[in-house]
Structure 1
Amino acid sequence: MSRSVRLNTLATPDDTVARSRAVRDRPPRRSRRHPHQREAVISLDTQVIDNPISGERIVIHENVSGPGRLAWELVLAPGGRVPSSHAHPAQEERFTVIEGRMRFRVGLRPIVAGAGTTVVVPPGTVHSFANAGPDPARVLVTTDPALEMAALLETAAAMAREQHAAGRALPRVLDLALFMCDFEREVRAPYLPVAPVRLVMRTLARLAGALGRDSRYRRLRPR
């Protein structure tokens, strides 16, 4: 994972100072800019998250995420899919396919989407998605409002990497309970009644803390 990779370029009139003898001997170029004008700063902030179980590579573009909204790019390997159906209680997700073909299920409606197609998932709607083609699929996703979605994506991928390294088919129950409690606003289980599920998850999360079993999960959480 690479976090906060920043590229800054800044030019001023002082940049005419030569960097080598050959450059020094070259006649100076005339600048059409005002003597006190600076070129724009180009800033690129990205956060790359890899999930070895789902086949997802997520690139969060910090510089295009507007106030209250998270913009991220999803690259899904052939055969890749979101681990399970889920819903976001208070967030709308918008998927725009850039390359490849995707298969969505939004509620009970199946959708196959090619390049240029946008699929909108309203808040509280159960949905899932998968790569429907032989090549990697590239999708632009916006989550509105963002809430803690970036932390959710990073934590889910860290749990998947730990699960993959241990060779387990399923995540640890207590880790899953802690995850569901930490991100109650961002995700919920599909089809099941919210209140009983939340009660069970909170009880298991308290048990994990009482037994000291939450330390491994907390290490997976982003700072």
Structure 2
Amino acid sequence: MADAIENPRTGQRMAFVTEQPELLEIETVNPASSVREPVHVHPLQESGARVSAGTLRFCVDGVERAVAAGESIVIPANTPHHFWNDGSADAHAVQWFRPALRSREFFETLFALARDGKIDAKGMPSLLQLAVTIPEFSQEIRTTTPPWPVQRALVALLAPIARRRGYRGVYRGSEHAPADAPSR
């Protein structure tokens, strides 16, 4: 995959194939796994996937559905969802976001955190990292728990502490972090 990133925690690979203000398309390879990403919304973006090999299982607004090779799914903006590959082989798909916003930068940040061991077993960064990442990408993605007003209140309290300790919302890798900061 040209221009690709990989999440070593999950084995997921992404290659950014279409990048325009109105559309981001990403070729993805999703290894079989029982691990599910956190339920989340894209508040301002319609998203979806076209599966070309294997099957991805989506849970959209509480309704579970398998999307097999040759099938697509469209997820309206601000709709709770998550997906996983519960099959036995890699699933290949083109995922898309309309408009693109800063989704690429979000995935690059998340995958860099994973590469540097700064993601827990559930796929989440530390609380202080979240305190600066949540507001940085709040237009692109939000987890559904705790509720958004609670997340905003926690961020208001913790973000100043996180920034003083060297955390930044956009993370490129530990080689760019201040020496005393656990992440950037």
Residue 145 of structure 1: CA displacement?
0.5
Q: 1:189 aligns with which of 143, 147, 155?
A: 143
Residue 218 of structure 1: CA displacement?
4.4
Conserved 8 A contact 1:71-1:140: yes
Conserved 8 A contact 1:87-1:124: yes
CA distance in 2, matches of 1:57, 1:69: 19
Unpaired runs of 5+ residues, structure 2, are 177-184
Q: Deviations over 1:189-208 (max 9, x none)?
A: 21543223112123211111
* Equivalent AA in structure 2 for residue 171 of structure 1: P
Residue 83 of structure 1: CA displacement?
2.8
Q: 2:116 aligns with which of 159, 162, 185?
A: 162
Q: Does 1:175 align with 2:137?
A: no
* Equivalent AA in structure 2 for residue 180 of structure 1: I
Q: Deviations over 1:122-154 (max 9, x none)?
A: 100111111121110001111001000000000
Q: 1:220 aligns with which of 168, 173, 176?
A: 173
Q: Where does residue 54 of structure 1 map in the other structure? A: 10
Residue 74 of structure 1: CA displacement?
1.1
CA RMSD between the two structures: 2.5
Matches within 5 A, 1:32-47: 46-47=2-3
Q: 1:79 aligns with which of 26, 33, 55?
A: 33
CA distance in 1, matches of 2:149, 2:83: 26
Identity of aligned residues (%): 29
Conserved 8 A contact 1:76-1:131: yes
Q: Deviations over 1:54-106 (max 9, x none)?
A: 22101101xx3344210111100121655311111010111111000111100
Per the normalisation by structure 2, the TM-score is: 0.83
CA distance in 2, matches of 1:97, 1:89: 23
Per the normalisation by structure 1, the TM-score is: 0.70
Q: Where does residue 19 of structure 1 map in the other structure? A: none
Structure 1 segments of 4 or more deviating over 4 A?
215-219
* Equivalent AA in structure 2 for residue 48 of structure 1: A
Taking structure 1 as reference, are residues 82 and 57 closer, same or farther at Cα in structure 2, changes over 3 Å only? farther
CA distance in 2, matches of 1:125, 1:216: 24
Q: How many residues align?
A: 173
Q: Where does residue 148 of structure 1 map in the other structure? A: 102
Residue 173 of structure 1: CA displacement?
1.4
Higher helix share: 1
Unpaired runs of 5+ residues, structure 1, are 3-45
Paired residue secondary structure (1:163) = coil
* Equivalent AA in structure 1 for residue 13 of structure 2: R
Matches within 5 A, 1:8-27: none
Conserved 8 A contact 1:48-1:57: yes
Higher strand share: 2
- Per chain length, whose mean CA-contact separation is higher, i.e. which structure has more relative contact order (CA < 8 Å, sep 6+)? 2
